[in-house]
C-alpha cells in the first residue's frame, strides 16, 4: 500500500521496498558542488543517510548543481526524510566551506517509482552517462563521482556496454526530459 503526500504537486507516492529514481537540484541550478572536496562531502553525507534509513543504493552521480540517485527504499514514507537528511546537513557543510551563512543551497527533489527492469536499467544508464550529457567528460569511466566505476569493477566494461545497448537512453534533452522506448 502506498502512502501519498498531497501537499506536493504532483503528489509524492511512497512505497516501501521499491526502487526510486531521485533527482535533487540546487537552488536556481547554481553550481554549489563545484569542487572535489564538496562532492566528497555530499558522498559522505549520502552514505550516512543510506545507513540511517537502511536504503540500498543502486546508482548515483554527483554533479555541480544536482545529484541523481537510484535507491531501494525500506520504508517508503521516509523518502522525504532521507532527502532532508542529505540536503540539510550538506547545506550547512557547503555553506561553511563557502563562508556563507543561511544561503539556500537546495531547491527541491523529484522522485519516480520504477516500473520494471527496463525502467531500472535505463535510469541507471542515465545516471552513468549524466556527466557526459553535461560535458564534464567524454566517457562515463572518466568521471569519479558516479557509481559507474563500481559497476565497471564488479561487472566489467562488456556488461556495461551491453546494458547500455539493451537499455539505451534515447534523448538527453532537458526540454523533453529523458526519452525512452
145 is a catalytic site residue: yes
**Fold (CATH) for 8-166:** Alpha-Beta Plaits (3.30.70)
The pLDDT score that the predictor gives to residue 175 is 41
* Preceding amide of 10 cis, omega within 30: yes
Cα–Cα distance measured from residue 35 to residue 74, given in angstroms and rounded to the nearest whole number: 32
60 in helix, strand or coil? strand
Claim: this prediction has a pTM higher than 0.85: yes
pLDDT digits (tens, 9 = 90+) for 5-59: 545 556 788 999 999 999 999 999 999 999 999 999 999 999 999 999 999 999 9
pLDDT digits (tens, 9 = 90+) for 68-121: 999 999 999 999 999 999 999 999 999 999 999 999 999 989 999 999 999 999
pLDDT tops 60 at residue 1: no
Cα–Cα distance measured from residue 14 to residue 19, given in angstroms and rounded to the nearest whole number: 11
The pLDDT score that the predictor gives to residue 152 is 98
pLDDT digits (tens, 9 = 90+) for 116-140: 999 999 999 999 999 999 999 999 9
Residue 180: pLDDT band (50, 70, 90) is very low
Cα–Cα distance measured from residue 12 to residue 26, given in angstroms and rounded to the nearest whole number: 19
How far is CA 72 from each of CA 6, 30, 78, rounded to the nearest angstrom?
22, 28, 12
Q: Which position among 121, 143, 145, 151 bears the catalytic label? A: 145
Instruction: Please state the domain extents for the chain.
Output: 8-166
Amino acid at each position: 500500500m502506498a502512502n501519498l503526500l498531497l501537499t506536493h504537486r504532483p503528489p509524492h507516492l511512497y512505497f516501501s521496498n521499491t526502487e526510486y529514481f531521485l533527482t535533487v537540484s540546487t537552488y536556481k541550478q547554481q553550481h554549489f558542488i563545484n569542487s572535489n572536496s564538496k562532492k566528497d562531502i555530499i558522498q559522505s553525507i549520502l552514505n550516512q543517510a543510506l545507513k540511517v534509513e537502511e536504503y540500498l543504493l543502486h546508482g548515483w552521480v554527483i554533479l555541480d548543481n544536482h545529484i541523481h540517485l537510484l535507491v531501494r527504499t525500506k520504508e517508503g514514507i521516509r523518502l522525504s526524510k532521507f532527502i532532508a537528511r542529505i540536503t540539510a546537513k550538506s547545506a550547512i557543510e557547503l555553506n561553511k566551506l563557502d563562508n556563507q551563512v543561511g544561503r539556500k543551497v537546495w531547491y527541491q527533489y523529484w522522485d519516480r517509482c520504477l516500473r520494471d527492469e527496463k525502467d531500472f536499467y535505463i535510469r541507471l544508464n542515465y545516471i552513468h552517462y549524466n556527466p557526459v550529457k553535461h560535458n564534464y567528460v567524454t566517457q562515463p569511466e572518466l568521471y569519479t563521482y558516479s557509481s559507474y566505476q563500481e559497476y565497471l569493477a564488479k561487472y566489467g566494461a562488456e556488461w556495461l556496454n551491453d546494458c547500455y545497448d539493451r537499455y539505451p537512453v534515447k534523448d538527453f534533452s532537458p526540454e523533453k526530459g529523458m526519452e525512452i522506448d
